[in-house]
């Protein structure tokens, strides 16, 4: 795991249980026994390390879910690795828990970056919308989907000439929000021709 | 517990008690007293309940459900036991996803419908076994080398170390997975053994409610 990924995990809080397994004297699942001689104490330490990793996984999973739920549909969870036939519920050892934690930390890191990119994109879109509203004549026929503003998935802001051709010739431009989501049963004219 | 049977905590192997102290198996008996067979068409009250629950789930809730306390607890637990919840969905997320894809909760027979109602109502998954095929109390342990899932000679051999729900003599289900063939309730089953998996973050009352929901639905007053 990179230093950055470790900082991702530890960024939000500095709770005492948030610690790498290495803090407990383990590396790659092997116990580096230098500070105690008792096997029993080693087992206790290792169990505490696993509990710490589970706490980290729980925290990362909550953040992962929060980003996905709050930013849907603009941000989707990174594709997970398909489970192989050998995968199944088991008590994970230290190494497997570390790998699981690292994979989740990487996914959260990717989601955070996507969320930041998305926020910047929406910020730029809002500024553009503001300019279109203030000076519509400079943005003739410019279109800005509301999706870009993070305000839904259907509808487009568009600078259009007021009164059609007359407005075009006279230079009367306005910003209009056109359309919304299509009706689930189709338009009235198709639904009810009579 | 009124209306249905009692619920009790199942046993846990020592290693599970030490590693996952908040994992519990909640078990209960249920007597099937309805006229319809368990595998047959659901009565109207159960189908109506399914339909009401279908209306409760819209697209937005389907996405945000992963943040609700009980579904979130199962997502975390899945990661703790090596399951990837975005690949191998938690029971409640799988049910909600199917609701979105199919436009409703389809009726699949009395027992499956009753278990689904309990799951969607509480977020806690419940499974049912034919009580006659269960030997003693249910509990959670890891599978042994070469152990089969169930009593059938051609039953699948489990890899060692898999988390299983077991009775006194054999593994009867993979945790959050398939039931052992030959131990599922069939059309003539009257006595059922129900079990729910309670994980860290799921209040006991909610897990008990899931069992109670199944018990009362199978044995209405």
Helix, strand, coil in percent for chain B, rounding step 5: 40, 20, 45
**What mean pLDDT is predicted for residues A82-108?**
88
pLDDT surpasses 70 at A69: yes
Task: Determine how many CB atoms are found less than 10 A away from the CB of residue B164.
Answer: 25
The percentage of chain A sitting over the pLDDT mark of 70, rounded to a whole number, equals: 69
pLDDT surpasses 70 at B204: yes
Together in a domain, A31 and A62: yes
pLDDT surpasses 90 at B174: yes
- CATH code of B123's domain: 3.50.40
Residue B44 in contact with partner chain A when CB distance is under 8 A: no
The answer to whether the Cβ–Cβ distance between B87 and A80 falls below 8 Å is yes
Query: Band of the pLDDT at A22, cuts 50, 70, 90?
Result: very low
The answer to whether the Cβ–Cβ distance between B177 and A50 falls below 8 Å is no
Together in a domain, A155 and A109: no
Residue A62 in contact with partner chain B when CB distance is under 8 A: yes
Together in a domain, A157 and A69: no
The pLDDT value given to residue A194: 45
Locus of tokens 């230093």 = A3
In a domain, A125, yes or no: no
The answer to whether the Cβ–Cβ distance between B80 and A92 falls below 8 Å is yes
In a domain, B1, yes or no: no
Residue A17 in contact with partner chain B when CB distance is under 8 A: no
In a domain, B132, yes or no: yes
In a domain, A130, yes or no: no
pLDDT surpasses 80 at A153: no
Helix axes B69-80, B91-102, angle to 10 degrees: 120
Q: How many domains does chain B have?
A: 1
Tell me the C-alpha to C-alpha distance, in Å, between residue A186 and each of A126, A182, A189, A190, A192.
31, 7, 8, 7, 10
The pLDDT value given to residue A186: 63
In a domain, B2, yes or no: no
pLDDT surpasses 90 at B126: yes
Together in a domain, A99 and A159: no
Q: Which domain holds residue A142?
A: 135-191
The pLDDT value given to residue A34: 47
The pLDDT value given to residue B68: 95
Q: What is the pLDDT of residues B17-65, one digit of tens each?
A: 999 999 999 999 999 989 888 988 999 999 999 999 998 888 778 888 9
The pLDDT value given to residue A23: 45
Locus of tokens 């997320």 = B93
Residue A92 in contact with partner chain B when CB distance is under 8 A: yes
The pLDDT value given to residue A26: 41
Q: Which domain holds residue B183?
A: 7-218
Backbone φ, ψ for residue A34 (5° rounding): -130, -20
The answer to whether the Cβ–Cβ distance between A62 and B84 falls below 8 Å is no
Q: What is the pLDDT of residues A30-67, one digit of tens each?
A: 444 444 456 666 778 889 999 999 999 999 999 999 99
Instruction: State whether residue A180 is helix, strand or coil.
Output: coil
Best of B70, B72, B80 to disrupt the A interface (most A CBs within 10 Å) is B80
Instruction: State whether residue A161 is helix, strand or coil.
Output: strand
């Amino acid at each position: 795991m990179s230093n950055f990924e470790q900082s991702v995990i530890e960024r939000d809080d500095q709770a005492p249980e948030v610690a790498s397994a290495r803090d407990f004297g383990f590396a790659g699942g092997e116990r580096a026994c230098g500070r105690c001689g008792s096997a029993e104490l080693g087992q206790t330490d290792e169990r505490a390390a696993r509990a710490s990793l589970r706490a980290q996984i729980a925290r990362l999973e909550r953040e992962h879910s929060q980003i996905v739920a709050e930013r849907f549909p603009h941000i989707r969870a990174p594709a997970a690795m398909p489970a192989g036939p050998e995968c199944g519920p088991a008590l994970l050892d230290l190494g497997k828990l570390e790998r699981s934690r690292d994979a989740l930390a990487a996914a959260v890191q990717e989601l955070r970056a996507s969320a930041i990119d998305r926020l910047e994109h929406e910020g730029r879109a809002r500024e553009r919308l503001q300019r279109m509203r203030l000076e519509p004549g400079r943005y003739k026929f410019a279109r800005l989907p509301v999706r870009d503003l993070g305000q839904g998935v259907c509808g487009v802001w568009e600078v259009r000439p007021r009164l059609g051709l007359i407005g075009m010739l006279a230079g009367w431009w306005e910003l209009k929000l056109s359309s919304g989501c299509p009706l689930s049963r189709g338009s009235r004219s198709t639904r009810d021709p009579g | 517990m009124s209306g249905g049977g009692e619920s009790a905590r199942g046993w846990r192997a020592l290693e599970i008690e030490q590693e996952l102290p908040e994992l519990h198996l909640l078990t209960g008996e249920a007597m099937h007293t309805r006229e319809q067979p368990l595998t047959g068409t659901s009565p109207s009250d159960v189908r109506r309940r399914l339909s009401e629950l279908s209306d409760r789930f819209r697209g937005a809730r389907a996405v945000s459900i992963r943040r609700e306390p009980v579904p979130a607890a199962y997502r975390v637990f899945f990661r703790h036991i090596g399951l990837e919840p975005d690949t191998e969905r938690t029971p409640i997320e799988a049910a909600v996803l199917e609701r979105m894809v199919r436009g409703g909760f389809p009726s699949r027979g009395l027992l499956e419908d009753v278990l689904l109602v309990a799951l969607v109502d509480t977020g806690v998954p419940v499974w049912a076994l034919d009580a006659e095929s269960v030997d003693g109390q249910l509990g959670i342990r890891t599978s042994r080398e070469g152990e089969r899932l169930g009593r059938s000679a051609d039953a699948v051999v489990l890899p060692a170390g898999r988390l299983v729900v077991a009775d006194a003599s054999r593994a009867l289900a993979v945790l959050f997975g398939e039931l052992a063939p030959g131990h599922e309730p069939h059309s003539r089953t009257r006595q059922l053994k129900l079990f729910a998996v309670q994980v860290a973050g799921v209040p006991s009352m909610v897990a008990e409610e899931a069992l109670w929901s199944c018990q009362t639905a199978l044995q209405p007053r």
